A and B are shown apart, each in its own frame.
Chain A
Amino acid sequence: MRDEQRDSSIERAIARAFNGGRYSRRTFLRRAGKGAVVAGSALTLPAILAACGIGPAGSGSPTASGGGLVGGGEPAGTLIFANWPLYIDQDEATGESATLQQFEEETEIAVDYNEAIQDNQEFFGTIQPALAGSQDTGWDMIVPTDWMVGKMISLGYLEAFDVAASVPNFVANAADTYKNPSYDPDNAHSVPWQSGITGIAYNPELTGREITSFADLLDPEFEGRVGMFSEVRDTCSLALLHNGVQPKDAVEADVRAAMDVLREQAPLVRGYYGNEYAQELASGSLALTMAWSGDVFQLQFDNPDLRFVVPEAGGILWVDNMTIPKGAQHPNDALAFMDFVFRPEVAAQITEYVNYICPVPGSQEIIQTHAQEAADGGDQETADYLTSVAESELVFPSEEMLANLHSYKVLTEDEEELWNSLFQEITQG
């Protein structure tokens, strides 16, 4: 399962060349905005159809499942699960996931696992027509990012459940940061899958100094070597924090002020990136850039000099969540799975592979135990790798780091339009 971490450096270089890093689904495809280029053109038709045939959200009967809570029943024996690419442990030789196999053996629920989500907006586009028409989307469990969870809740697109009764392991084992989040009070519709930090990454050799704050991204000294994100929520949130405003409290005037900062910065910026920033950072074209923590953790295997910092004024903790779309056929199976992955040993198994922030703090100790076992078994390379995962602040952030992280604001439709149009003027003219 960890063989892929030991790939020859050439193979890694090739993979990185074409994907901008490999194990991370974000490095590949996290494009809330401009979309993965290939997928972008493929979306056009469904998007048009969605635009054509669909009335307002929730126009159909909103009570596909009676409007109450799901859960409490017997699993049906099937779970159709849509997740992001490379976002679960996977044996490189067989392609099997130990986590899924173990779940199937224990519960006799067959998991139909699909790497179907490449991008929040785009995936939402594929299920929105069914949801608006009060029909089953075909998925029992999907993994949207927190702001999308908030948006889907406000549209009435997610099933509610009693988290204490249905997902007791979440209550017992999840870190407090993930409980009762602003985008989903009381975790009534979602529990976290993995999370990560939006902050700043830099190459000290190229910057020639330590980078500590968002103000460094505005320094004319780095003209043409600064990278920013094309995802407005990330970029604008960091600018808001720089201005001393909590993203979740931002009103229109704050957003406009933050956009002014970004507009002034624009001439210094080399580009507004999705995943490709990782590749530009690795190749030395960018000296400093906004970054996602999991990517930097992996880039550090090739270039240990690279550093990731949470800006002094604060960074963003984003969370991808397991949710049940409205009208799902097998909600009890989805809840069984949610409960299963909050066992520390299962969470550890997934984290060892995906290297994002694990919502279960107890998994750290288990990964250390695995490292010890590998060392005892004479496999020093695996032991070193596992130790680096367990000790990394990017996988298990310190309290101090967490205290300086904030959530995205859940935007209303009007706000979303404002943010998008202001930001588009900055990035595209």
Chain B
Amino acid sequence: MAAWLRRRRGLIPYLFLLPGGLWLVVFFVLPMVTMASVALQEGTLGTGFTFTFNIGVFPEVLGRYDEQFLRSLLYALVVTILTMAIGYPMAYTIAFRGGRYKNVLLLLVILPFFTSFIIRTISWKFILADQGFVLGTLKDIGLLDDGFRLLATPVAVISGITYNYLPFVVLPLYVALEKIDPRLVEAATDLYASRLQAFLRVTLPLSISGVFAGSLLAFIPAAGDYINAELLGGTRETTMIGNVVQTLYLTNNDYPQASAISLILMVGLIIGVVIYTRVLRGQELTV
């Protein structure tokens, strides 16, 4: 075996890729093919589903649920911007000013992951409840109108998603910022760059890979999120495309439409990511 491998050194990288590749085939490619096949079927639970190559399902769901698609993308965009705005200063501070507390601070960032996603989201319901300790107190001291509420509004949904995905943004940003040699910034200031110029022309461009990874890690799951929308929203005005898929699957048993929506969302996101990658790479070159 060893000798055989030595003779075919070129194969080794492929061997290393094999476990991951198999995993992807079984748990990604196969379901994806099944999903595509289901999307093109027609029928009901009672009569069974038959493959009819019903390509019309795609324009149908796009037309019927355009509002929810757009809302999901809009929410995901706002969430990405918010997580960046909150996460970048956090990661920056930990990377450059964390000192010996770096590891503790990083641990604090990922600490919420030690509790279940659902529990964390449900706790938000308690924090934001109409008569809860935040709004209740503000209402009692007269700062807020009695009818004011946050739950069941887009604000609650977007806040919930932002909170849940913030660590995914902080970690890659931290990794990117941590690698930057502080001497480069010193050199920039020595060459008469102001602190702002040094940040904009040295630190930010060097951390762009973290911005890229972090924004994708926030945007993609946010666009498909349905738990925050259900628990913190739950109204027609906060329905995201993930909620529609869930209802179509579990309540309406309309597997073809649900599969079609999932496919559209996935393909749409892939195209978006490719464009984003190009734009960002172009950016990197011009800086």
Contacts and interface: CB of A to CB of B under 8 A. Distances in A.
B175 interface: no
B35 interface: yes
A32 B243 CA distance: 15
Most chain B CB within 10 A, of A34, A59, A119, is at A34
A37 B231 contact: yes
A283 B49 contact: no
A226 to B, nearest CB: 11
B236 interface: yes
Given A33-B251, A121-B250, A48 B234 contact: no
Given A57-B45, A155-B46, A121 B236 contact: no
B45 A284 contact: no
A51 B130 contact: no
Contacts of A43: 249-250
A15 to B, nearest CB: 12
Interface in A379-429: 413, 417, 420-421, 424, 426-429
Q: Which 4 A-B pairs have the closest CB atoms?
A: A271-B234, A284-B131, A51-B255, A56-B48
Interface in A83-134: 119, 121-122, 125, 128, 132
A34 B37 CA distance: 24
Interface in B92-127: 118-119, 122-123, 125-126
Interface of A: 17-18, 32-35, 37-38, 40, 43-45, 47-49, 51-52, 54-57, 59, 119, 121-122, 125, 128, 132, 155, 223-225, 232, 266, 269-273, 276, 279-280, 283-285, 413, 417, 420-421, 424, 426-429
A51 B38 contact: yes
A417 B255 contact: no
Interface stretch (B145-153, B212-220, B266-274, B279-287): B145-153
A9 B236 CA distance: 36
Contact of A33 (B125, B151, B250): B250
Interface string B245-269: 0110111110110010000000000
A161 B253 CA distance: 30
B250 A428 contact: no
B118 A428 contact: no
Contact of A284 (B125, B129, B237, B252): B129
Contacts of A428: 68, 236, 239, 243-244, 247
A417 B44 contact: yes
Contact of B31 (A32, A48, A276): A48
Contact of A18 (B119, B234, B246, B256): B119
Interface in B187-234: 226-227, 230-231, 233-234
A272 B48 CA distance: 30
A270 B234 contact: yes
Interface residues of B, number: 50
Contact of B246 (A34, A270, A273, A285): A34
B249 A47 contact: yes
B259 A48 contact: yes
22 contacts: A17-B123, A33-B250, A34-B230, A37-B231, A47-B255, A48-B35, A48-B255, A51-B49, A57-B46, A122-B250, A225-B130, A232-B251, A266-B236, A272-B235, A283-B125, A284-B129, A285-B129, A413-B44, A424-B251, A428-B68, A428-B236, A429-B236
Nearest to B253: A121
A33 B247 contact: yes
Interface in B119-144: 119, 122-123, 125-126, 129-132
Contacts of B132: 283
Contacts of A273: 234
Nearest to A57: B46
B186 interface: no
B67 interface: yes
Given A420-B251, A428-B247, A48 B46 contact: no
Contacts of A32: 251
Given A35-B250, A280-B129, A429-B236, 9 more contacts: A43-B249, A44-B249, A47-B250, A55-B48, A59-B48, A276-B231, A283-B126, A417-B252, A424-B252
A225 B131 CA distance: 12
B72 interface: no
A218 to B, nearest CB: 17
A49 B38 CA distance: 9
